[in-house]
Each structure stands twice: as structure tokens, then as C-alpha cells.
Amino acid sequence: MKCPRCDSEKVRVMTKSPVGNAWEVYVCDKCIYSWRSTEEIKISSTFRLDDKKIAEMGEIPPVPPLKGA
């Protein structure tokens, strides 16, 4: 199975439905995309990722400390 967002094959099952094998949730270890087996995935080319886009991503802005914590 390939990740629908970045085409990586490093996809694993994150969780399964608690009853009846109704669905599984997969997660991509490369871009952290996750999706349910019952979804019909359509990712616009704008949101697809490749190695170049991932390398050029900025850092996620840090969350400031809570006031009074």
C-alpha cells in the first residue's frame, strides 16, 4: 500500500475498528498522513508531497508557554 499524499510505502495500520473489522486507519510514517480504509481518498496536486516539498517545509511554529502555568 502506498501513501496517497506522498507515495511512500512506509504505511502501517494505526488502529482498527473495535467491532467487526469494519475499517482500519492507516498512517504514513513519512508524512504522517492518516486515513481510514473506508475513505475514497482524492488529494489535489496542491496538497501532495514529495521529498522536495518536505525538505522545504518550515518548522512548525512553537507553542508559547501557558500563562500562569
Residues of the shown chain interacting with Zn ion in the complex, contacts defined by CB under 5 A: 3, 5-6, 8, 28, 30-31, 33
Which one, 15 or 51, has the nearer CB to Zn ion?
51
Cα 15 to chain centroid distance, Å, stands at 13
Phi-psi region of 25 (alpha: psi -120 to 50; beta: other; left: phi over 0): beta
Which one, 21 or 45, has the nearer CB to Zn ion?
45
Cα 32 from Cα 52, distance rounded (Å) = 16
Q: How far is the CB of 4 from Zn ion (least distance, A)?
A: 8
Q: How far is the CB of 36 from Zn ion (least distance, A)?
A: 15
Which one, 10 or 16, has the nearer CB to Zn ion?
10
Q: How far is the CB of 60 from Zn ion (least distance, A)?
A: 17
Give me the long-range contacts of 51-54 (CB less than 8 A, separation at least 24).
Answer: 54/6, 54/30
